[in-house]
Amino acid sequence: MITEMNNMERVFGRPESLRPVSTHYCPGCGHGIVNRLVAEVIDELGIREQTIGVAPVGCAVFLYNYLNVDMFEAAHGRAPAIATGCKRVHPNMTVFTYQGDGDLAAIGTAETIHAAARGENITTIFINNATYGMTGGQMAPTSLVGQKTTTSPTGRKIERAGYPIKMAELLATLDGPAYISRVSVSSAKYVVRAKQAIRKAFETQIKGLGYSLVEVLSPCPTDWHMTPAAAIEWLEENMLPHYPLGEFKVPQEAR
């Protein structure tokens, strides 16, 4: 029996780019899935030794404990600037940032928009879970209207806190980006598509086509105060209508 198993083709395993450790992410959190998808894509493209990542401030700050590539830990919101400095020194490396919604769409909005506008040849993986996860569930720039958070206890009110930002659509208005898409990790089908988008983003960079970003809608059961299953349901019922999935910008050659 054992011999027989040894002769079988290995069809699934831990990516080489993913360290053999367990993560600190909460049960039902989307980060673990996306960390793995990034590792799988790095493996499939064979670029583990030519990849440099930039971890954010937020729940994914320990990304460097999970991905087995050279990495920076950024200050809050500054990952695109750090990635820019790195990419300019190592133009042949694949440089990516991994950022949450508070990081990318609030404190780091300027860095994000200008890296995109420069067409900086880097890739950004943007986790949108509509809340500040690490600090305990405060209102994020992407929190939905009416969404209850610790700093919008009666729900986000337009007259006080304005509207959630659709970053993918906003960035797609710029000339600099080459590839902008929004995906979700709320179902197996969507996870497969998310991986395809992440791969496309990395390939865009490798081909030297310019800035690429994949926005990933991701559940945060802990701060949404839901079970993992209910969080998935909430995401699909509330986030998908406001944040439509799809490609907002694709490289010229891929059109």
Nearer to another protein, 34 or 86 (CB): 86
By CB under 8 A, tell whether 70 contacts another protein: yes
By CB under 8 A, tell whether 179 contacts another protein: no
Contact in structure between 212 and 234 (CB atoms under 8 Å) = no
Binding-residue pattern over the window 7 to 46 for another protein, x denoting contact by CB under 8 A: ----------------------------------------
Nearer to another protein, 106 or 226 (CB): 106
Binding-residue pattern over the window 87 to 106 for another protein, x denoting contact by CB under 8 A: xxxx--x-------------
Residues 45 and 38: their CA atoms lie apart, in Å, by 11
Compute the least distance from the CB of residue 117 to another protein, in Å: 8
By CB under 8 A, tell whether 64 contacts another protein: yes
Nearer to another protein, 2 or 21 (CB): 21
Tokens 């898409």 belong to which residue? 181
> What residues numbered 103-122 form the site for another protein, per CB under 8 A?
110-111, 113-114
Stretch that binds another protein, among 77-85, 98-106, 131-139, 220-228 (CB under 8 A): 77-85
Q: What are the residues binding another protein (CB under 8 A)?
A: 48-52, 54, 61, 64, 68-75, 78, 80-90, 93, 110-111, 113-114
